[in-house]
Amino acid sequence: MTQQVQRADFDRVMVPNYAPAAFVPVRGQGSRVWDQQGKEYVDFAGGIAVNSLGHAHPALVAALTEQAGKLWHVSNSLTNEPALRLASKLVETTFAEKVFFCNSGGEANEAAFKLARRYAIDKFGPDKVEIIAFNNAFHGRTFFTVSVGGQSKYSDGFGPKPGGITHLPFNDLDALAKQISDKTCAVVMEPLQGEGGITPATQAFIEGARALCDKHNALLVFDEVQSGNGRTGTLYAYQSFGVVPDILTTAKGLGGGFPIGAMLTTADIASHLAVGTHGSTYGGNPLGCAVAEAALGIISQPAVLAAVQDKHNRFKQRLNAINAQYQCFSEIRGMGLLIGAALVPALAGKAKDFMNAGAKEGVMVLQAGPDVIRFAPSLVIPDADIDEGLNRFERAVAAVVAK
């Protein structure tokens, strides 16, 4: 018999680094989720921009179960067919010539930052190690990636940090021009900052950063862990900006809910990670790659990507209408299906209240910091689910504003 468990058990047996919601989901289908009590939710959270095709998508279930009956894991002392097919697909659809697989966004960035350092040291000598990153960025929770991320609340309190990292204000090209030098090995940015508050790079900033990197032989690294895999309406966000990075990292939506990460780069840069310089036991395992291959096959279809923009407009129109009624948002921003509704000063710090009120009304939303409500639903969410979810969200807004 299966042991009965409930939310209270979290506090009993789990490390307290998370504060999960009061309900425990047990089943999902498309953009709907059901909890232990059978209550139904519209899912605008998407497992934090991970469930790119919703829950239990038939193509992903088929890919996973078919691969599960064949081969799960072989390690990187062997290669495997799903990994080779997925890497080929990524090379065909992006600037990349080479791919490294891992299991998460943090690992993809760890690989990217190590590669940027190795490349610069090999080519230009031991002093070229400075990494420039931006305030409010988020790049993962390993000690290197959390140090490159620009949020001290995540990186302080663990003793000495990896050095050689500088943080600048995001979208401030003058500050970047002043700081970058021939000692800079990489400039690292999210083209659309996710955790930091759904803040897109400006076109001038992203183009200017590219030019400055070229001038100083620094690599431009785009962290597309959250903005990638169709999230912004192009396969990767760099394609919307028309600015090509030297290294791109991704994860989250790539596996549609199965853990997988990837680092994409050129053949020249990749050649600096020679045999033995970096690795991952599970990286590129057949299960993850088979699911990601199926997910990418759907997400990369032009009709699917075009629909992301239509759904963005549908969200925005309704959120504007809600705002006209309740004057709760100072700005509604983002790209594709990564949308942020920034709260007005009178509601500052209350994003979590909106999440909780949403759950009560039967809709799951996210926050991006204390002042921004974030929407990151399935890329193929039906319009009817958007409308129903926003009906419920409007009731949640009414409840929070009335308090």
Ligand X SMILES: *Cc1c(COP(=O)(O)O)cnc(C)c1O
* Residue ranges of the binding site for pyridoxal 5'-phosphate: 138, 223-226, 281
Regarding 105 and contact with ligand X (CB under 6 A), the answer is yes
Centroid of chain to Cα 161: 24
Residue with tokens 């900033």: 205
Which lies closer to ligand X via its Cβ, residue 255 or residue 286? 255
Helix (H) or strand (E) holding 99: strand 98-102
Degrees, nearest 5: CA angle 347-350-356? 135
Regarding 190 and contact with ligand X (CB under 6 A), the answer is yes
Please give the annotated binding residues, written as ranges: 138, 141, 223-226, 280-281
Please give the annotated binding residues for N(2)-acetyl-L-ornithine, written as ranges: 141, 280
Shortest Å distance, C-beta 129 to ligand X: 21
Total of chain residues touching ligand X, rule CB under 6 A? 15
Identify the residue among 113, 138, 222, 236 touching ligand X (CB under 6 A).
138
Helix (H) or strand (E) holding 117: helix 105-124
| DSSP helix, strand, coil percent of the chain (3-state; round to 5) | 40, 20, 40
Q: Which of the stretches 100-108, 317-325, 328-336, 386-394 binds ligand X when contact is defined by CB under 6 A?
A: 100-108
Shortest Å distance, C-beta 8 to ligand X: 26
Identify the residue among 28, 194, 208, 336 touching ligand X (CB under 6 A).
194
Q: Which of the stretches 98-106, 307-315, 370-378, 382-390 binds ligand X when contact is defined by CB under 6 A?
A: 98-106
Burial (CB < 10 A; 0-12, 13-18, 19+), residue 375, is buried
Identify the residue among 35, 43, 130, 195 touching ligand X (CB under 6 A).
195
Identify the residue among 57, 128, 139, 392 touching ligand X (CB under 6 A).
139
Which lies closer to ligand X via its Cβ, residue 105 or residue 197? 105
Q: Which of the stretches 15-23, 137-145, 272-280, 293-301 binds ligand X when contact is defined by CB under 6 A?
A: 137-145
Identify the residue among 104, 136, 234, 378 touching ligand X (CB under 6 A).
104
Q: 3-class SS at 230?
A: coil
Regarding 199 and contact with ligand X (CB under 6 A), the answer is no
20 contacts 7 by C-beta, under 8 angstroms: yes
Identify the residue among 47, 54, 106, 233 touching ligand X (CB under 6 A).
106
Among 231, 200, 233, 198, smallest CA distance to 329 is for 198
244 token code pair: 């090509």
CA contacts within 13 A on the Cβ side of 322: 27
Q: Which residue is nearest to ligand X (CB)?
A: 105
Which lies closer to ligand X via its Cβ, residue 223 or residue 361? 223
Which lies closer to ligand X via its Cβ, residue 116 or residue 225? 225
Distance CA(6)–CA(359), nearest Å, equals 17
Which lies closer to ligand X via its Cβ, residue 53 or residue 248? 248
Which lies closer to ligand X via its Cβ, residue 50 or residue 64? 50
190 contacts 172 by C-beta, under 8 angstroms: no
Distance CA(204)–CA(221), nearest Å, equals 17
Which lies closer to ligand X via its Cβ, residue 80 or residue 227? 227
Which lies closer to ligand X via its Cβ, residue 103 or residue 184? 103
Q: Which of the stretches 158-166, 218-226, 314-322, 331-339 binds ligand X when contact is defined by CB under 6 A?
A: 218-226
Q: Are strands 40-43 and 363-364 parallel, antiparallel or unpaired?
A: parallel
Regarding 140 and contact with ligand X (CB under 6 A), the answer is yes
149 contacts 163 by C-beta, under 8 angstroms: no
Residue with tokens 């705002």: 323
Of residues 220-249, which lie at the interface with ligand X (CB under 6 A)? 223, 225-226
Exposure string for 90-121, b = 16+ CB within 10 A, e = fewer: beeebebebbbbbbbbbbbbbbbbbbbbbbbe
Shortest Å distance, C-beta 324 to ligand X: 31
199 contacts 163 by C-beta, under 8 angstroms: no
Degrees, nearest 5: CA angle 351-14-153? 45
Shortest Å distance, C-beta 150 to ligand X: 12
Which residues here bind ligand X, judged by CB under 6 A?
104-106, 109, 138-140, 190, 194-195, 223, 225-226, 251-252
